[in-house]
Structure 1
């Protein structure tokens, strides 16, 4: 087993709204700078996007009533990185949870930098969604 970090943020919006907006791959460039730096393009059952670390293919969990937004990121090398992501109710709002799994060969500094990038993306998501109220 490898180390993980559970990064979460409270968002003052109903879970269904958070799930619908954050789960739409076309919205990724607005909030997920660590993953999507360009337009997201559909490609069959997946999506193509230019990430900071190269062109990637994204595959998301099918739409569901449980707030599960897990997604796989297929790198140019063919390596696939699984990213568990959830929206759960928190009172009248939501808790958005991203589980960051340390990848093989990743240094402590790289893992921490990755965690900081995810945390920044979650702050952006919160700001954008709460501004919609």
Structure 2
């Protein structure tokens, strides 16, 4: 098939197929957790991420006004002191997020609205 024929075929396929818009439920905050191998090589970050469903449900963060969305990222380029986590839109960056630290972050920051300052290594422009 010539390049012109391939371009025409691609244009036709694209023009005839409908793109479905994704849907996401409303949320108040978005947690981004680095699960890359340099951040927490022992798998602690993935374990932390996997624990969040139950922790959010217990704290009332799985739905409603305080709902928190969570996502894994491959690398923040902040590769020391992991697991590393960022809370958006607050711009609050946490390090050494152990399960016990996560419990404090949930209670004090995500529910109570106050970042856990001794675990914060960077505060973005929104100020928390």
Q: What TM-score results when the alignment is normalised by the length of structure 2?
A: 0.26
Higher gyration radius (CA):
2
Of Structure 1 and Structure 2, the greater strand share is in: 1
Greater fraction of residues in helix? 2
TM-score normalised over the length of structure 1: 0.26
